[in-house]
Structure 1
Amino acid sequence: MVSVSPRLKDCLEDDELESVDPRFVLGFRSVSLGSSGYEEYETEDGSLQTVRPWSAGGSIANKKKRQLRQSNQRLERLDTFNYRTCADGDLFRLFELFPGTGTQPIEGRLDFEHSRSVERDYTCLSYCWETVERETDIICDGFRFPVTSNLLAALRCLRNKSHSLHIWIDQICINQDDLNERSHQVSIMQHIFSKAKDVIVWLGEEDDKSGKLCELARKMRRGDDSPKQSGTLKRILNPRQLQDAIQKLLQRPWFQRVWVVPEVALARFTIVQIGHDQISWDNFVRLIKDVPFPKTGGFDKQIALLGNPRQRIAIISQMSASQKEGLRHTDITTLLILAKGSKATEIRDFVFAFYGLTWLRTFPNYRISIELLYAEIIQLYVNSIRWDTSYSTLHGLTDEKRTQQLMSILYSAGALHQHHTLPSWIPDWTFSWHLAPVWCKTVANLATTSGKDEWSAGVRSDFRAGGNECGEFEIIEGLNGMHKLRVSAILLDVVLITSETTPASTPGGERDASMEPDSTLRYGRVFYRTGNGYIGIATPGVQAGDDIAVLLGGDVPVVLRECENHDAHTRAYKLLCETFLQDESVMHGEIARSGWTVAEEIVLI
């Protein structure tokens, strides 16, 4: 039997075969039995392999392999890129991403743009390095330029097949080895991101039903909760699948990176991209807004810790609304919550990342020591909040908000929560949140879309141990920039014993059953009993002889450890941590209201 093409005349009787069926024309490759008419390619072991046209699938795969090999060979022949200029003044670099498809090398060139008078439309890329190792390469200005694998994947998805794109990418547009240039570029980051036509958030390649999530987000309509609409959406992802997909999405590294906060907050318009799928930031927020996390049996970091993914998204969205309205409501409480809940390769970025979001104007310096940087920035904030009238006016600070921000500094600090050698009242940004907070809530107020600081009203705790009025709060000059802090405190009691389980009350001491801490607050903490019979929980490291104190204006009590002080008139202490007492009169301020006259000035060192 002869198999013939249905598109050719089926005739084998004509002597002029060539004129009837071109398959029989001499040289027609489909019937040549020799290999000389076929393409040959070199396999990995060096042998030659013939590409036969009837193996269509193999031919396509081999063609892609050959193209990839040729691309790699081209890259290997190129010299490594070196920055020949410095980005200074108001200048920054833009990467022009050339058109391309498939396995073609990512190729482009660098050019300068003016941060205050932008001439070209460009996009900023917000992504996660994931590693400092640059495992792969692109071509920049005709040279081989090492990049991380995650950036290469993003550029392949962003690249257009017909026209160039201008993109700002920190890994390419900043000479990361030049500390002076890095410092300067950070100082103008506000202009770079606010002048871009949009910011693309690259969450990574498609996985874990992320494509279905994007489809669902695009089909959601604001305010449409009709059964028909709900049924349509459920056919894309059922409720359990939706919960799991969102939880896995929020666990991606991008949500832990410190630089993503200003990158989105300063953007005119934000696009979330997963693989080749894109949705707007607003659609992304609506997608996760009302979907709860699946319940877990133990301590859930995605709900219990400050700076958890949902809270981060809520605060970033509010900060973005503030910037669009020309407001600067970003306060130290916000920055502490977000920064200590983030990760950064360069730990100075826990501070520098927020320079473009506040009115505090100091020049980033990557050569300064960590200890001095962290101490200086807190001193700057304390003095601005406490004494600078223009700062309070610009941030809309009432006396109550001013007190709340000052106290949030102390609750973010403590000698038991520090990696670096710092005064105990200075927060260490490298020490991330690891315990459920007592001093504030971890809720995500995703409903806030205005520029006002409405989210903070729902974040502050319900406790008012020290009342609403701040007492003394003054920085005292110290050696080498390591200053002390004078505060007003009611020294309440002394720790008698610590225990892994709830200790029994002392005779005559009353235990308030209504104030039992829940399992989330107890997680990771130890119990203690005081000389007067109070039962409390605190960070491990608290020991017998430590003092329990209420700071005037503070929301919750703190644990202090007395230190030697050369000033005989003032007692000096190390601040250890916040604490929770199982006593309503203490936690809700009755003790402070009745005993504020016995408050004394102490020094935290």
Structure 2
Amino acid sequence: MGVFTRFCYGCAAQVIAEKLIADRSPWECLHTAYWNLYSLISAAIAHTLMYSSFFLSACIRFAGPWFASLNIEIPVPKPKPWYTYEKLKEGEIRLLGIHRNYLFWVSYNIYAVPINHGIPYEAISYAWGDRSDVEEVTLNNRRFATTRTVGDILRRRSKLIGLWPGNMRFVWLDYICINQEDIDERNYQVTLMRQIYQRASRVMVCLGDGPDASKAGWLLLKIYALSTVNTLEELSNRCALDKNTPSWQALSRFFAHPWFSRVWVIQEVAVASKVWVTYGGGLLDWELVLWGICTFSRPEMASHLSTATAEVRRNIPLTLQQGVIVGIIRNKIQRKDKLSLREAITLCTGFQATDPRDKIYALLGLVTDDLDLRAWVDYRKPTEQLYLETARFLLSQEESPLQILNYAGTGYPWNPEFASLPSWVPDLSCPPNTSSLDGGIQPFPYKACGRLQHDAQLLLSAPPGQIRLRGSQADEIAFLAQNNNFSLNGATDAEMQTFFQDRALWLKNCLSLIQDHVPDPYHTLQPRAEAFWRTLLGDRTVEGRPAPAEYADCYAAMEELTFSPPDEQRTSFTSQRALILKSLRFQGQTAASIRGRRFAVTRRGFMGLVPPGTEAGDVICVFAGANTPFVVRQLEKGWWELVGECYFLGIMDGEMVDPVAEMEVFTLC
């Protein structure tokens, strides 16, 4: 009885909390408490049945020999047949009905309905998880094999069905509602995906469970409440007091969830009228989750998510960035802004997909380009062919056609499965581990080609595997620093020490190159030391271009910390607060420019950042119509391989372009 009393007090507290925090109506609050009571009763009955089964099994174990002596044949029931899909008609989709048969039993039934039906339903957004971890459910009184993740989702949604027999709830989730073995059906249903999520009464993001998962939502609500009465710095200081608690670890795991990195979730969230997120039994509004993503993307707050495991910490920066992108695209869709396929691809290259073709197909329903989706979506088409056709389509567009080249090149790690792709076609299955210099969330306003425009007729006049571009050779790569592979994401104490050692070696290598091969003053008439830190920044910050002069002090702080003895590097944050904050400010601004690139010096003494696979002797080329220069490698006379985009201080604004000189034709293959 005491347990039940405490439960009632808990329900009352939840009603009051939800009324105050979520501003829900009293009926909605009572509804939540009702389902909690239902869960308690269900758990009690489940325990009763479990102990009853123990009793029955004991009876059978002791009475079994006696029954066997009677020679009574007990018929063994035949297993139910497997569920088989029926063909859908044009314009139809399937809905999964969760039906209350008896007090605590539900059944699952599939219904084919027109896409424009008026039946309210929930569309489920989730990460598939391990497809080899399977279980059986019953559909239409038939057996159906599904993943453990889908089974968990069905059980959780079933708890929300009213206790009265005959109650029903409809949901749509792709694993069950699309015949995954029928390629023609998959092709067609993908073209309807936007309508499916747009017409849903709400989209439920189901993130499952985890250690202390329920604490993540409460902590996020608490931080949001604190943010309304504190500045960002005050909020950060308050969060630092208890960041080693299980609640913070749960919040770290929440923001590192693989759902945030799935390419399909972009469309699922962007087109929805309402989005709710369930995690550990809690229910969060998407706007609150997005607020948390944006808040913890700020340098002042990011360090508070460092209490989880190293693997979780490594994932958090990327998942936070991807969450921001989902928010950006959702805002565009809800405002009915223009979104081209080029822009969608450049924003979403870092998202993951089980099928590499989905890196394109998952975005088609979002874009405003006039596309025939039925002609585009074909899961029989090889991935290489799809990527090639997509690249040629983007090159044929009027707006920024050459921007897609910034995501291509043999100078980056590539997927050996698609080694036959031309060098100018982006391998979206394995995008560069760096931020593009021309595109993404914050494109940099470079104009290396000056006012020169690309030749649209020349561009696609070559055979399908080639393109032709007019351009000029600006310089040649002469010297390269060691690869920049160090990162602080998820670093342990031992990895932190390695980080400082690697960064010191890299910085010494760079300073040695510029001391021997770069003129002072630089080509831009700036002191060589200033030109160096501007090169590391790409001469841009969030404040714009060129980088403010105050970043000279930030670079000096970073250099001082890098070359200080190891004991001083591990000194407490308080004793070197000012120096560390300046260093972090510089590092934060260089992340987009130097991550995944190598420092290089040309024959003429220009400093720059190039793809990691660049070699001495490669050529820096400025193409007409391209905002950035590119590194190219000559294969034979007139034939070139694209290595990748690059940055060189002093040639990013058309300085190397002679508008009256005749340009060379480069055939990229």
Shared fold (TM-score, shorter chain, > 0.5): yes
> Counterpart in 2 of 1:490?
472
Contact 1:319 1:330 in 2 (8 A): no
> Counterpart in 1 of 2:449?
466
Q: How does 1:167-566 map onto structure 2 within 5 Å?
A: 167-214=171-218, 216-217=220-221, 220=224, 224-225=228-229, 238=242, 244-291=249-296, 292-294=301-303, 308-338=318-348, 340-358=349-367, 359=369, 360-363=371-374, 364-383=377-396, 385-386=397-398, 402-403=399-400, 406-417=401-412, 418-419=414-415, 420=418, 421-440=420-439, 459-467=442-450, 470-473=453-456, 474-479=458-463, 481-482=464-465, 484-500=466-482, 501-502=509-510, 504-505=513-514, 509=519, 510=522, 511=528, 512-517=531-536, 520=591, 521-564=593-636
**How far did residue 118 of structure 1 move?**
1.4
Q: Which has the larger radius of gyration?
A: 1
| RMSD (Å), alpha carbons | 3.8
User: Residue 429 and residue 597 in structure 1: after superposition, are their counterparts in 2 closer, same or farther (change >3 A)?
Assistant: same
Letter in 2 for 1:265: A
Contact 2:453 2:625 in 1 (8 A): yes
SS of corresponding position for 1:354: helix
Once structures 1 and 2 are overlaid, which stretch shifts more, 551-560 or 210-219?
210-219
> Counterpart in 2 of 1:79?
81
Contact 1:414 1:427 in 2 (8 A): yes
Per-residue CA distance 1:248-283 (angstroms, 9 max, x = gap): 212111011111111111111111111321111112
Contact 1:100 1:161 in 2 (8 A): no
Letter in 1 for 2:114: H
**How far did residue 547 of structure 1 move?**
0.4
**How far did residue 356 of structure 1 move?**
1.1
Q: Distance in 2 between matches of 1:101 and 1:537?
A: 67
Letter in 2 for 1:309: T
Q: Distance in 1 between matches of 2:332 and 2:619?
A: 41
> Counterpart in 1 of 2:134?
135
Contact 2:219 2:248 in 1 (8 A): no
> Counterpart in 2 of 1:150?
149
Q: How does 1:45-64 map onto structure 2 within 5 Å?
A: 46=61
Contact 1:88 1:184 in 2 (8 A): no
User: Residue 260 and residue 486 in structure 1: after superposition, are their counterparts in 2 closer, same or farther (change >3 A)?
Assistant: same
Letter in 1 for 2:346: L
Q: How does 1:26-37 map onto structure 2 within 5 Å?
A: none
> Counterpart in 1 of 2:99?
98
User: Residue 48 and residue 432 in structure 1: after superposition, are their counterparts in 2 closer, same or farther (change >3 A)?
Assistant: farther
User: Residue 379 and residue 237 in structure 1: after superposition, are their counterparts in 2 closer, same or farther (change >3 A)?
Assistant: farther
SS of corresponding position for 1:40: helix
Contact 2:252 2:316 in 1 (8 A): no
Letter in 2 for 1:485: I
Letter in 2 for 1:319: I
Percentage of matched positions with identical amino acids: 22
User: Residue 77 and residue 219 in structure 1: after superposition, are their counterparts in 2 closer, same or farther (change >3 A)?
Assistant: farther
Letter in 2 for 1:545: G
SS of corresponding position for 1:166: strand
**How far did residue 130 of structure 1 move?**
1.3
Contact 2:213 2:254 in 1 (8 A): no
**How far did residue 148 of structure 1 move?**
0.9
Any unmatched runs of 5+ in structure 1? Answer: 1-36, 50-72, 387-401, 442-455, 566-570
Q: Distance in 2 between matches of 1:151 and 1:101?
A: 23
> Counterpart in 2 of 1:574?
641
SS of corresponding position for 1:213: helix
SS of corresponding position for 2:117: coil
Which of 57, 62, 74 matches 1:42?
Answer: 57
Once structures 1 and 2 are overlaid, which stretch shifts more, 327-336 or 541-550?
327-336
**How far did residue 238 of structure 1 move?**
4.6
SS of corresponding position for 1:294: helix
Per-residue CA distance 1:521-572 (angstroms, 9 max, x = gap): 444443433221223332232212210122344343211011335xxxxx33
User: Residue 381 and residue 436 in structure 1: after superposition, are their counterparts in 2 closer, same or farther (change >3 A)?
Assistant: closer
Contact 2:532 2:607 in 1 (8 A): no
**How far did residue 433 of structure 1 move?**
3.7
Aligned: 1:586 with 2:651: yes
User: Residue 493 and residue 220 in structure 1: after superposition, are their counterparts in 2 closer, same or farther (change >3 A)?
Assistant: closer
Aligned: 1:604 with 2:586: no
SS of corresponding position for 2:324: helix
Q: Distance in 2 between matches of 1:144 and 1:546?
A: 60
Contact 1:216 1:236 in 2 (8 A): no
Contact 1:495 1:530 in 2 (8 A): yes
SS of corresponding position for 1:415: coil
Q: Distance in 1 between matches of 2:629 and 2:102?
A: 61
Letter in 1 for 2:532: A
Alignment TM-score, normalising by the size of structure 2: 0.65
User: Residue 321 and residue 270 in structure 1: after superposition, are their counterparts in 2 closer, same or farther (change >3 A)?
Assistant: same
Q: Distance in 1 between matches of 2:333 and 2:518?
A: 56
> Counterpart in 2 of 1:390?
none
Contact 2:293 2:324 in 1 (8 A): no
Any unmatched runs of 5+ in structure 2? Answer: 1-51, 65-75, 483-508, 523-527, 537-586
Contact 1:558 1:575 in 2 (8 A): yes
Higher helix share: 2
**How far did residue 205 of structure 1 move?**
1.1
User: Residue 105 and residue 536 in structure 1: after superposition, are their counterparts in 2 closer, same or farther (change >3 A)?
Assistant: farther
